[in-house]
């Protein structure tokens, strides 16, 4: 039985704009591209240099610099926020900047923010499938969630700003995003081709030598293909540019992004099949992670158990905008097998070099 050597489990290398890069790629191909002036906040000078050739103005800095973020936001009619769905000080800086813009210029700016369906997480720890399904047409359901839920504090601050009237907010909430991205931004190493979560599961399975799951893997999440998620952002943008009055915002402006559901067990099984095929695992069947493993692979016990929650939702408001996703859960599972094989080969290649 082949087992990939790992002295200690390491979290994956730094990622770079998987979701944001996919939307940027579509903006750069947009029919109205010539009318846009796009500015991107970028942490690394190398990445900024790579972006220059795409006619994107880059500003080197981080969201940890509130003055910089506030100034940049104050100069934009539309702010897309993709960097971190949980960074409250960063979003507060954006809100201050947009308020300043409204006060100084009279322009009513738009904030389009990438949140996530983890806001719906329960504490099922993989033990059962919930029948609670949230609907983005029913914001009262989302408003009933505690402020302590993932992403919620940021989302609440954004909606409050909309209520105050100095901006209009649109919060997109994707389920598990999947799919391998290709294209000029990936080739230029500006964009990450892989999602966050799926490779994480694959790496955990490689580290264990067999695929694992939290509890019985029964809890349910939704999924959305990265290309179709990016389409939703562009549909939202186009609608806003055409007729902002027609687009729900603020309290009504939550947009789930999903086109199918999976249990965590199904997801793990797809990885197990890939591992067995290349001889890394004897069995395709996932086994339950013990408490030590949950903490190890989650980073903390709490984050580990979050990898076995229910977070079910329906993107009815997004579909009402005209969004028509077609990729299904089967596409997600197929993509997962493809990613597993790619990552296994990548790790095997690294080991060969070490030996
Ligand atoms: N992917 C999913 O399945 C999914 C689903 C739901 C919600 N979300 C949420 O969406 C957000 C983005 O996800 P993603 O998958 O696109 O992540 P990603 O590939 O890691 O991209 C995040 C980008 O934000 C940049 N960034 C992060 N912190 C920054 C900071 N302090 N200053 C400046 N730039 C910063 C990163 O810069 P560098 O390039 O310098 O690292 C990277 O380019 C996350 O908050 C995530 O929780 C993701």
pLDDT digits (tens, 9 = 90+) for 154-199: 999 999 999 999 999 999 999 999 998 999 999 998 898 888 788 8
Expressed in angstroms and rounded, the spacing between residue 63 Cα and the centre of ligand 1 is 11
pLDDT digits (tens, 9 = 90+) for 245-274: 999 999 999 999 999 999 999 999 999 998
- 83 CA: nearest ligand 1 atom: 24
Expressed in angstroms and rounded, the spacing between residue 1 Cα and the centre of ligand 1 is 36
pLDDT digits (tens, 9 = 90+) for 47-87: 899 998 898 999 999 999 999 999 999 999 999 999 999 99
110-114 and 78-81 beta bridge pairing: parallel
Q: Name the closest-CA residue to atom 36, ligand 1.
A: 16
pLDDT at 345: 79
**In the predicted model, what is the mean pLDDT of residues 321-343?**
92
pLDDT at 336: 86
pLDDT digits (tens, 9 = 90+) for 197-222: 888 888 899 899 899 999 999 999 99
Average pLDDT value over all residues in the chain: 92
Contact criterion met (CB below 8 Å) for 336 and 264 = no
Q: Name the closest-CA residue to atom 18, ligand 1.
A: 17
Backbone CA torsion sign across 144, 148, 154, 157: positive
DSSP state of 148: T
Residues with CB under 6 A from ligand 1: 14-20, 41, 43-44, 62-64, 82-85, 114, 116, 174, 176-177, 192, 195-197
Residue of 189, 166, 192, 184 whose CA lies nearest to 249: 166
**Termini Cα distance of the chain:** 18
Q: Is the pLDDT of residue 148 over 70?
A: yes
Q: For residue 344, name the pLDDT band (cuts at 50, 70, 90).
A: confident
Q: Name the closest-CA residue to atom 47, ligand 1.
A: 85
pLDDT at 343: 80
53 vs 134, 186, 189, 195, 254, CA distance in Å? 42, 13, 13, 25, 34
pLDDT digits (tens, 9 = 90+) for 11-36: 444 446 799 999 999 999 999 999 99
In the chain, how many H helices and how many E strands? 14, 13
Q: Give percent of the chain above pLDDT 70.
A: 94
Residue of 246, 283, 256, 257 whose CA lies nearest to 268: 283
Domain locations along the chain: 18-354
For residue 259, what are its two tokens? 């086109």
pLDDT digits (tens, 9 = 90+) for 115-144: 999 999 999 999 999 999 999 999 999 999
CATH of domain 18-354: 3.40.50.720
């Amino acid at each position: 039985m082949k087992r990939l050597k790992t002295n200690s489990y390491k979290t994956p290398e730094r990622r770079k704009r998987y979701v944001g890069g996919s939307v940027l790629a579509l903006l750069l191909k947009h029919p109205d591209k010539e009318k846009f002036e796009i500015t991107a906040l970028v942490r690394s000078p190398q990445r900024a240099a790579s972006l220059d050739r795409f006619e994107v103005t880059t500003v080197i800095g981080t969201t940890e610099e509130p003055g910089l973020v506030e100034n940049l936001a104050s100069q934009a009619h539309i702010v897309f926020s993709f960097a971190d769905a949980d960074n409250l000080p960063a979003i507060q800086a954006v809100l201050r900047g947009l308020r300043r813009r409204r006060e100084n210029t009279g322009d009513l700016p738009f904030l389009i923010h990438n949140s996530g369906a983890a806001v719906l997480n329960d504490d099922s720890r993989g033990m059962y499938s919930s029948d609670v399904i949230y609907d983005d047409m029913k914001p009262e359901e989302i408003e009933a969630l505690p402020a302590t839920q993932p992403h919620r504090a940021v989302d609440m601050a954004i909606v409050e700003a909309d209520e105050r009237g100095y901006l209009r907010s649109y919060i997109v909430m994707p389920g598990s995003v999947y799919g391998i991205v290709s294209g000029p931004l990936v080739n230029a190493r500006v964009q990450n081709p892989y999602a966050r979560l799926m490779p994480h599961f694959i790496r955990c399975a490689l580290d264990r030598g067999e695929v694992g799951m939290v509890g019985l893997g029964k809890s349910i999440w939704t999924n959305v293909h990265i290309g179709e998620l990016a389409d939703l952002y562009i549909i939202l943008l186009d609608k806003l540019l055409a007729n902002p009055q027609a687009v729900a915002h603020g309290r009504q402006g939550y947009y789930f992004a999903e086109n199918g559901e999976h249990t965590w067990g199904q997801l793990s099984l797809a990885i197990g099949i890939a591992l067995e095929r290349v001889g890394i695992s004897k069995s395709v069947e996932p086994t339950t992670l013990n408490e030590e493993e949950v903490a190890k692979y989650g980073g903390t016990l709490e984050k580990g158990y979050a990898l076995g929650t229910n977070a079910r939702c329906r993107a009815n408001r997004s579909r009402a905008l005209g969004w028509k996703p077609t990729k299904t859960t089967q596409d997600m599972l197929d993509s997962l097998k493809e990613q597993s094989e790619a990552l296994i080969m990548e790790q095997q290649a690294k080991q060969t070099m070490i030996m």
